[in-house]
Amino acid sequence: MANIVIVGTQWGDEGKGKIVDMLAADADAVVRFQGGNNAGHTMVVRGEQIISHLVPSGILQGKLCMIGNGLVVDPAVLTEEIDYLVGKGIKVDADNLKISERAQLIMPYHKLVDHARELMKGDKKIGTTGRGIGPAYEDKATRRGIRFVDLLDPEIFREKVEVIMKEKNFYLEHFLNAETADPEAVISEYAKYAERLAPHVCNISVVMDEILTSGKQLLFEGAQGTHLDIDHGTYPFVTSSNTVSGNACCGAGIGPGKISDVYGIVKAYTTRVGAGPFPTELFDDVGDSIQKKGAEFGATTGRKRRCGWLDTVILENAVRLNGLTGLVVTKLDVLGGLDELKICTAYQYGDETLRHFPANLNVLGKCEPVYESLPGWSEDISGIRTFEDLPENTRNYLKRIEELTGVSVQIISVGPGREETIVLKNPLK
């Protein structure tokens, strides 16, 4: 029996959704443990593209899906997403979608604060997704958050909303010069979500324990990426939760001894949406061609993703921080047709060669990537299904990633479709 955590190793959008969907075939339940609808996970099944923001990517395989206590959930988005999935003929009901009673709610004032703060920051903005993620986690940490368990108790919900909205509206109006929200409107809007979502709400820790006791397998789906982690990422240009594998335990409610495998998703090049340092970013035609061929647009906000070469300094960081036991290399097909591929192996900071990712953003901003160059391949590899059939230069690129990270590549993705995958080792099988 195996229980696996899937995390992004870079700055998000590595292809986690596709891989979780594919691996979910052999799992008994899929659990999200952090983030909110800042995530956008794309799955392509029989040519149809489906994007989820909150519902775990196991839903297309008909698996039990759970939303952990570590998430901040916008109930307006969740109910819309359930309708969207049901509209596509996918079964989503109280039997196969469970929400932790301890998960935090994103409230309308969180979104107003998120937008207004970004506006106020001007060119110093983080480039958040504007979904209220940071303000919701902030209220969780200051113990003023509202949880699903509160939503289901109208008296407690009203009391909490009335108290907190006095302060939020004052802050919005007098400090942020922004629109305020009406508590009565919020209370009646959320009463509808309470009614709709109540059947899904439960103690998911107990559900997972029963699953584990009966010898079944869990798959934990990370959102964002290691370098957007609030502690380990490019702070403050990060999201507001821990995205690393350790948080699968905390954000879902199981002990670390239950996790057997941690796979890190590595896009074959690097992308980033929003502001913040990105040492291997490309500003030339190569960057443009990767952006176009990889269709690198944000699945949540539609923003163009910044593109650059593969960076093994950040991968080394991700291997260590997550305890990766395997790598999944995605979007390898996108690199086809380039004569030369570059891999960053270290950062040059003045006279110093850095092999570990620096915490100081001023240092990071002055780092020059040290590259090694590898020959590219011209073949279209999207139809290939075995490692041996890949062109020699593609195999060498993968082998070099293994050498530089010290971790084996276990799954290779050569296209967005579920079947466009080469599986060397699936721990759930």
| Given the residues 28, 41, 53, 311, the one annotated as active site | 41
* Residue number, 15 or 246, with CB nearest to ligand IMO: 15
List the interface residues with ligand IMO, window 111-150 (CB under 6 A).
126-129, 131, 133-134
Rounded (10°) angle between helices 108-121 and 183-197: 120
List the interface residues with ligand GDP, window 28-47 (CB under 6 A).
40-42, 44
For residue 38, the partner it binds in ligand IMO, Mg ion, ligand GDP, none, with Cβ less than 5 to 8 A by kind, is ligand IMO
Note whether 75 binds ligand IMO by CB under 6 A: no
Min. distance of Cβ 411 from ligand GDP in angstroms? 10
For residue 129, the partner it binds in Mg ion, ligand IMO, ligand GDP, none, with Cβ less than 5 to 8 A by kind, is ligand IMO
Binding residue (CB under 6 A) for ligand IMO from 3, 5, 6, 8:
8
Question: Cα torsion for 278, 279, 285, 286, to the nearest 10°?
Answer: -100
β-strands 41-45, 48-52: how paired? antiparallel
Per-residue binding string, ligand IMO, 186-225, x by CB under 6 A, is -------------------------------------xxx
State which residue has the least CB distance to ligand IMO. Answer: 274
For residue 44, the partner it binds in ligand IMO, ligand GDP, Mg ion, none, with Cβ less than 5 to 8 A by kind, is ligand GDP
Q: What angle do CA 375, 8, 79 make, to 5 degrees?
A: 135
Note whether 239 binds ligand IMO by CB under 6 A: yes
Note whether 264 binds ligand IMO by CB under 6 A: no
Note whether 21 binds ligand IMO by CB under 6 A: no
Total binding residues toward ligand IMO, as defined by CB under 6 A: 23
Note whether 74 binds ligand GDP by CB under 6 A: no
Note whether 56 binds ligand IMO by CB under 6 A: no
Take residue 146 and report the two structure tokens written for it: 């509202």
List the interface residues with ligand GDP, window 238-267 (CB under 6 A).
none
For residue 98, the partner it binds in Mg ion, ligand GDP, ligand IMO, none, with Cβ less than 5 to 8 A by kind, is none
List the interface residues with ligand GDP, window 323-382 (CB under 6 A).
330-331, 333-334
Confirm whether 41 is a catalytic residue: yes
Binding residue (CB under 6 A) for ligand IMO from 3, 34, 38, 52:
38
Where on the chain is the footprint of ligand IMO (CB under 6 A)?
8, 12-13, 38-41, 126-129, 131, 133-134, 223-225, 228, 239-240, 273-274, 299
Catalytic residue numbers read 13, 41
